[in-house]
Chains A and B, each alone.
Chain A
């Protein structure tokens, strides 16, 4: 309760300071005051324009993030378990991971055009490496004692893998997914700014060309809220479904 109050208070203070600065200190055209931003936002909400862009961006993130997680976890589990594969692929991964989704935009547009596929690819690209590296770390750090203890109880290698190693790696995998989720929301924007005809990033780009700073601020606020809400939802989902795998981290 206290935390929620502080949270709301902090945001309220930020809006008041923002209102003051943009009307008294700075040029209100360059930094539109929050009241103006809300006035701009109302019709965009009413006619559904903002939701259309949000839905498109969200769908892109969802597809890219999901496929990236599936691929990252699958390969990560193999790399974490089979040493030879890891030694062969690790150098490549170590180099490729520095290619951020933003760096890949120009080539993605040439490969996949400015349609949905290029956006899926870019989000996939960003998610894949983060989830992969975390999964490998998690699988490799599954305590050897835990595996040996299960082995002498009679567990087969497959059982050890499925019932011991993967659950042991779960906290790492989930952490990787959470970081990748945040990074997806960051990389969808430049992708849409540079090559798209819809989405929040496109709204930013279009408003910039037309010098509509108040609309730019609507888009920026939307990104903040969207990222925040998704992360909270993700955390709630993890708490509901995976808490028994997450809660013991302090123990071991």
Chain B
């Protein structure tokens, strides 16, 4: 990502959301975008996904410019209830992904089984999203995203709506999946502890207008991490100071 700038509106209503964003993410990396609400994290993620275009600057993926939403970059939404297809059962939601991706039909059952087992939903395959808990819906969203074998997972505050306990479990679950699939993850959050627990690298964004990545912090701690651990706590405080 080179020198990305994003403006909304025209004339007097014009608002400069992002200005001069540089970011390189390497394959298999877990990057957190951390910043206060309204700093343009989600906008940046939408640009990465290809839903929105940068006003100026360029976004390249594997050497080619990003044009529109791509199959190799799957966005993962906080509101799983809205992102899933509520009229389809758990397995049908995964099947939908395989169908639109034109995976040969003969391979469907095996792929569906594999990912439903991976996220622990194989016993709930005939249920509908409305019958699942918030955490289960998120796991279904993970299964559906992984079924199309994306190279990058873009996650927009995915666990923000979950209770603290479920959230912690989802962190463990996500790290486990990430280590197994080696998918690159760009993870947006405003929760410092979440960023320190998960990321290889934390990009701190400043408050807009003209938001930019003000600081990049490498987190070279072994996983699983405990936020109460002295090393993690030191990073936590450092990030906190940079944010305030």
User: Which residues on A are within 8 Å of B, measured CB to CB?
Assistant: 143, 145-146, 148-156, 159, 163-164, 167, 170, 244-245, 247-248, 250-252
Contacts and interface: CB of A to CB of B under 8 A. Distances in A.
Given A167-B85, A247-B130, A252-B81, A149 B100 contact: no
A201 B100 CA distance: 52
Q: Which range holds the interface residue count of chain B?
A: 20 to 34
A143 B100 CA distance: 19
Interface stretch (B20-28, B65-73, B224-232): B65-73
A17 to B, nearest CB: 44
A153 B85 contact: no
Contacts of B83: 145-146, 149
A244 B87 contact: yes
B165 interface: no
B74 interface: yes
Contacts, number: 77
B53 to A, nearest CB: 14
B86 A159 contact: no
Contacts of A156: 100
A13 to B, nearest CB: 40
Given A152-B70, A154-B100, A167 B77 contact: no
A152 B100 contact: no
Given A163-B100, A244-B128, A251-B129, A152 B69 contact: yes
A150 B100 CA distance: 8
Contacts of A149: 75, 77, 83-84, 141
A153 B70 CA distance: 8
A167 B85 CA distance: 9
A113 B141 CA distance: 59
B125 interface: no
A163 B77 contact: no
B101 interface: yes
Given A143-B82, A167-B87, A153 B96 contact: yes
Nearest to A246: B87
B65 to A, nearest CB: 17
A164 B96 CA distance: 10
B77 A145 contact: yes
Given A150-B100, A156-B100, A248 B71 contact: no
B75 A148 contact: yes
B77 A248 contact: no
A167 B141 CA distance: 19
B148 A248 contact: no
Contacts of A150: 85, 96, 100
Given A146-B84, A152-B49, 14 more contacts: A143-B82, A148-B75, A149-B84, A150-B96, A152-B50, A152-B150, A153-B100, A153-B148, A155-B100, A159-B100, A248-B130, A250-B130, A251-B129, A252-B82
A84 B23 CA distance: 38
21 contacts: A146-B82, A149-B83, A149-B84, A150-B96, A150-B100, A151-B51, A151-B69, A152-B70, A152-B73, A153-B148, A154-B71, A154-B148, A156-B100, A163-B85, A167-B85, A244-B87, A247-B128, A248-B86, A248-B129, A251-B86, A251-B130
A30 B141 CA distance: 67
Contacts of B102: 154
Contact of A148 (B69, B128, B141, B144): B69
Given A148-B51, A159-B100, A153 B82 contact: no
Nearest to B103: A154
A248 B83 CA distance: 13
Contact of B74 (A153, A244, A251): A153
A53 to B, nearest CB: 41
Contact of A145 (B82, B86, B145): B82
Contacts of A143: 82
B142 to A, nearest CB: 12
Contacts of B50: 152
B111 to A, nearest CB: 13
Given A148-B51, A251-B129, A153 B81 contact: no
B81 A251 contact: yes
Contacts of A145: 77, 79, 82-83
Contacts of A247: 128, 130
A252 B86 contact: yes
Nearest to A245: B87
A119 B56 CA distance: 59
Contacts of B75: 148-149, 152
Contacts of A244: 87-88, 128
